[in-house]
Structure 1
Amino acid sequence: MSAVLYDVPGPRAKARNRIINALVVLVLLGAVAWVIFRLNQTGQFESRRWAQFQYTAIQNELLDGLLNTLRAAGLAAVLAMLFGAVFAAARISDHAVLRAPATLVVELFRAIPLLILMFFFYYGSLQYQLGLSPFWAVVLGLTLYNGSVLAEIFRAGIAAVPKGQREAAYATGLRKNQVVRLILLPQAIRAMLPAIVSQLVVLLKDTALGFIITYNELLYVAKQMGGRLEFGFPYIPTYIVVAVIYIGLCSLLSVIARWLEGRSRRSGKGGPSPEAAEKAMAPEATL
């Protein structure tokens, strides 16, 4: 008996896979134990290095850094989604005057490292006195880079919808923008959702690059907290706390994504909603 892409493992293969999995788990546990041992040997778990987190002022500093991180990530996510939607629409346009420049912009900003974009906006603003704050340098850099990636995700998602859906929609007399908006996009959004959420997680984590241009986000606050002599320079404990916060935020995004995906599956099997189909087939839609 075989599957589509590979042979179903037999009893010996299953036993061998279990042994390999157990060995991998043991190696990982050993690596984690060794890291914890080394941290303990270097005094990273001493109470003095963790004492600062019990003070309200320190907690407020972390909260301010977290809010600044969420503020930059939230605004950049909205702008990146709008950027991606506009340029994805331009890339699938029938008019070369729209398609060619959009392709150039998307490929350009996908190829430029995000940190260079932040440097460009921050130091360019300082040199030419444009008045951009570190916050806007971070937001604009995140928007251009992640928006270009999202534009390609949107374009690929729409292109992945079966060709018969387009042909059937065009046969009813719908224009291209109506086909995309009413027929293709409702189906494509379900397939695109995991990739979109994955890119938003990347965007959230990339806000940490803002500490290089002195944006007062979570990592910048952690760097300042870790350099305090009275607590024995608690860099490692502080970065552990910040890492846990980032893991929590990313896990929350993943949970929301799974909820949205489950909700979309319950609402339909991948086709357009009944309301969209009825609207698309209405006589005035073809005018």
Structure 2
Amino acid sequence: MSSVLYDAQGPKAKRRNVVISVVFVAVVAAVLWWMYGVLDEKGQLAWALWEPFFHGEAWSTYLWPGLLNTLKAAALAMIIALPLGAALGIGRLSDHAWVRVPASVVVEFFRSIPVLVLMIFGLALFSEYTNVSADDRPLYAVVTGLVLYNASVLAEIVRAGILSLPRGQAEAASAIGLRKNQIMRFILLPQAVTAMLPAIVSQLVVIVKDTALGGAVLTFSELMASVSPMSAYYGANTLASFTVVALIFIALNFSLTSFASWLERRLRQGKKSTGAVVTADAVEELSTPGEHVEGKK
């Protein structure tokens, strides 16, 4: 069946696609079989290396505490970064230079610095100028780095989401007497939420994964950091430990994206969306300051 965007495949195209699919599946199967043979030859598939993860000790001693710290750091970073990013993104759309320029400087500055550098800076800051205990400093440093970097990225997502809306909506709202802050709160933001949601969720997934940087550099006892002591205790089962931790991260991020997909469907059913979706490319195209809409005080 043909459409405006798609032509139905002919007999030759169908045969070619079948051949390509068969060859691809055969290549993938061959690679998997080769990997299985190498791992089995090295003894990495021995039951003794995987057995600890089917008992409660490995989970209660290593995995569960690390997972709790990962969730704690990610949740704190999300709670702080989301409203901060929204405020900065709206600030970049302001008609007033004294609001727009500082917000743009903050966003561009922290967005240009690697998140690991921000974490190390946070650790030094809390060590030198605060009374935070040595046990809590890694958590504070990880959250600080995640907030500063991801709030800047989220600010661009918010700005792109608002600018993706038709300009006529702000003009119509202004024509009926709404003030600029009312237009932003009641007209633009509710519609932009759905457009921003896929990009926001992608950034939240990044926050969850970036907590591992704290374990690798700042001795933050998160989920990934549990691999080393767990592998040492259970007889160098490093591959098995990394595999289990990776599956946990996959489950976490899949749950987050699934919830976001459900929420997006609900919002679209509530007719609060224009159908626009903000992508990473759209955010990058808006990296230059100065663009604003007639919807912000």
Structure 1 length-normalised TM: 0.87
| 1:45 corresponding residue in structure 2 | 45
- C-alpha contact 2:74 2:211 (8 A) present in aligned 1: yes
Q: Distance in 1 between matches of 2:103 and 2:10?
A: 52
| 2:251 corresponding residue in structure 1 | 248
| 1:284 corresponding residue in structure 2 | none
> What's the secondary structure of 1:80's corresponding residue?
helix
Deviations 1:208-264 (A, max 9, x none): 111120001001111221123xx3311100000001101111110111011101111
Higher relative contact order (CA 8 A, sep 6+): 2
Q: Distance in 2 between matches of 1:77 and 1:241?
A: 25
| 1:138 corresponding residue in structure 2 | 142
Q: 1:123 to 1:41 in 2, by over 3 A?
A: farther
For residue 215 of structure 1, the aligned residue among 200, 215, 220 is 220
Following TM superposition, by how much is the alpha carbon of 1:26 offset from its aligned partner in structure 2, in angstroms? 2.7
Q: How many positions carry a matched residue from both structures?
A: 268
Q: 1:219 to 1:166 in 2, by over 3 A?
A: same
> What's the secondary structure of 1:242's corresponding residue?
helix
| 2:11 corresponding residue in structure 1 | 11
> What's the secondary structure of 1:216's corresponding residue?
coil
> What's the secondary structure of 2:178's corresponding residue?
coil
Q: Which amino acid aligns with 1:235?
A: T
| 2:156 corresponding residue in structure 1 | 152
> What's the secondary structure of 1:238's corresponding residue?
helix
> What's the secondary structure of 1:189's corresponding residue?
helix
Q: Distance in 2 between matches of 1:48 and 1:182?
A: 60
Q: Distance in 1 between matches of 2:115 and 2:83?
A: 18
Q: Distance in 1 between matches of 2:52 and 2:64?
A: 14
- C-alpha contact 2:127 2:137 (8 A) present in aligned 1: no
> What's the secondary structure of 1:233's corresponding residue?
coil
Identity %: 48
| 2:293 corresponding residue in structure 1 | none
More helix by share: 1
Q: 1:185 to 1:129 in 2, by over 3 A?
A: closer
Deviations 1:89-113 (A, max 9, x none): 1100111111111111111111111
> What's the secondary structure of 1:227's corresponding residue?
helix
Q: Which amino acid aligns with 2:260?
A: A
Following TM superposition, by how much is the alpha carbon of 1:179 offset from its aligned partner in structure 2, in angstroms? 0.8
- C-alpha contact 2:194 2:272 (8 A) present in aligned 1: no
**Which stretch of the first structure deviates more once superposed, 262-271 or 85-94?**
262-271
| 1:282 corresponding residue in structure 2 | none
Q: Distance in 1 between matches of 2:202 and 2:65?
A: 25
For residue 239 of structure 1, the aligned residue among 217, 239, 242 is 242
Q: Distance in 1 between matches of 2:271 and 2:167?
A: 20
Q: Which amino acid aligns with 2:258?
A: V
Q: Which amino acid aligns with 1:227?
A: A
Q: Distance in 2 between matches of 1:270 and 1:14?
A: 38
Following TM superposition, by how much is the alpha carbon of 1:23 offset from its aligned partner in structure 2, in angstroms? 2.5
| 1:88 corresponding residue in structure 2 | 89
| 1:21 corresponding residue in structure 2 | 21
Unaligned runs of 5+ in 2: 275-297
| 1:35 corresponding residue in structure 2 | 35
Q: Which amino acid aligns with 2:152?
A: S
Q: Quote the RMSD (CA, aligned, Å).
A: 2.0
Q: Distance in 1 between matches of 2:264 and 2:34?
A: 39
